[in-house]
Structure formats: C-alpha cells, structure tokens
Amino acid sequence: MAAATSIPTASPAGTAIRLRHVRKTFGKGEYAVQALRGVDLDIPGGELTMLVGPSGCGKTTLISILAGLLSRDAGEMSVFGQDLGTLSRDRLAAWRRESVGFIFQQFNLVPQLSVAENVSVPLVLKGESVGSAVRKSNELLATLGLEGRGTSAPLKLSGGQQQRVAIARALIHDPRLLVCDEPTSALDAELGRRVMTLIRDRSRQPDRAVVVVTHDDRIFHLADSIAHMNDGVVDRLSRGEHLSQPRQSL
C-alpha cells in the first residue's frame, strides 16, 4: 500500500494547479449533496497526477472544476496562475479552447465525422480552417499509429484505435492541461500501458500538467503522484517510490 504524504506537497517543477479548501455542493436543502468538502491539492507542472478513489468520492467533480467545466462554491483555485472563478462564461470557454485537452471515458467521437475531422475539432474551434486542421490531424494520427485512417468513420475502428483518436483530439491543439477520465477503461493491458505512456510523455514539460481519473490500478505505477480521494476530500497523496507497483498484467 502506498504511504501517505502530507498535503499539499511541493514539487520541483512548480505548481501548475493549486486548490485550497475547494467545496462544491449539488442541490439545495435536504436534497443537497456535498461533492467536495474542502479539497486541498497541489498538482505539479510537468507531471502526471492520478485521482483515485471509490465511486462518488468527488473525482469527476474535481476534474470538472479544475478543467473549468464547473464552478466551485467556496475555496481558492488557480490553474497555471489563473483563477478560473474570475472568468466570464465566454472567457472560460475560450480558456478551455486554448488550454485544456479532454479524453473522455466514452470517447465522444462524432460518428458522422471522419476520424481526422473528429481530431480537428479543437483546432477548428480555435478558428483554424477545416482543411488545415484536418491536415495537421492526419499528421498527428500517423504518429499514433493511425496513418491512413483519417478518412475512416470512427465506428469502423477498434476500441483501442478509437481511444487513440480521442487522445489525438485531446493533443492536437497542444493544451497545457490534459484531463483524462478513465482513459484505459476500454483497453486491454498492453494497449492501456501504451496509451498511458503516451499521455505521460505528454506531461514532461514544466508548463504542462496531466490529470487522470482512474480506477485502473494496473496503471498506478505510471503516475508521478496519486491523490487519493474519499468522501469529497483528498486524504492522501502518494509520490515516487510509494506508488503502487504494477500488476503482473502490466
């Protein structure tokens, strides 16, 4: 079992994301549910941080807040020095457009669009022409082993290939923050390891950060740090040699 460290923790690379006493409640009155009860967490730049914990502990709420999809009710938070709470809805959308890449558990690839068009969406949202965006998408797809598949329909691809398309879509606009929700849940062991290696490599710059929500203990050893969540708080942070060892399958 991983040993706990004090939280928040310092990092040599500097703090990319900083949360203090962040709270979030859904609903009101007797139906109110406290999803986050005061989260304190520092996510270092240039590292891959995993959020783990049982279902309902607040992982999804936390990544939604730090990706600018949800607003916090209380507490302080900065992402690469930006307090997202001060941004208007439009500015927040623009910030996400520029700074965040998403890998969804369900991929969310649009079936009516080709693989390259799906990948090009973030660039097109930033104002790039479809032709140019698709060309760049094909180049990125080639680096992910999907050369020549740009014109294919996403549903014609295997689960692993679809996941790589989703990764390409998350990386195409070179975001500073990569948020991944169960990125290996649909993949076999080998493919899961390759995908996570790809994602981890992406984090190796000081002005980058990768946050991965996962239940998959086969990939814990690939994290630089693991934030253990329970009942709406981060109660432990594991780093370095204290991370879980990979299971034999990985």
User: Of 102, 119, 161, 192, which lies in the binding site for other proteins, with binding defined by CB under 8 A?
Assistant: 102
User: Of 36, 121, 141, 226, which lies in the binding site for other proteins, with binding defined by CB under 8 A?
Assistant: 121
Instruction: Examine residue 105 and tell whether it contacts other proteins (CB under 8 A).
Output: yes
Dmax over CA atoms of the chain, in Å, equals 55
Amino acid at 36: L
Instruction: Examine residue 125 and tell whether it contacts other proteins (CB under 8 A).
Output: yes
Between 67 and 146, CB nearer to other proteins: 67
Tell me how far apart the alpha carbons of residues 175 and 210 are, in angstroms, rounded to a whole number: 10
Nearest Cα neighbor of 213 from 234, 192, 233, 227 is: 227
* Part in contact with other proteins (CB under 8 A); list of ranges 45-53, 78-86, 102-110, 138-146: 102-110
Backbone angles phi, psi at 177, to 5 degrees: -115, 125
Q: Look at strands 177-181 and 100-103 and give their pairing.
A: parallel
Between 13 and 100, CB nearer to other proteins: 100
Alpha-carbon distances of 98 from 3, 49, 65, 68, 173, rounded to whole Å? 36, 21, 16, 12, 7
Instruction: Examine residue 34 and tell whether it contacts other proteins (CB under 8 A).
Output: no
Instruction: Examine residue 64 and tell whether it contacts other proteins (CB under 8 A).
Output: yes
As measured in angstroms, the least distance from the Cβ of 185 to other proteins is: 10
Site for other proteins in 81-100 (CB under 8 A): 89-90, 93-98, 100
As measured in angstroms, the least distance from the Cβ of 12 to other proteins is: 30
CA dihedral 96, 79, 9, 53 (to 10 degrees): -30
Instruction: Examine residue 216 and tell whether it contacts other proteins (CB under 8 A).
Output: no
* Part in contact with other proteins (CB under 8 A); list of ranges 12-20, 46-54, 67-75, 239-247: 67-75
Between 2 and 36, CB nearer to other proteins: 36
The site for other proteins (CB under 8 A) is made up of 60-61, 63-64, 67, 69-70, 89-90, 93-98, 100, 102, 104-106, 108, 110-113, 117, 121-122, 124-126, 130, 181, 213
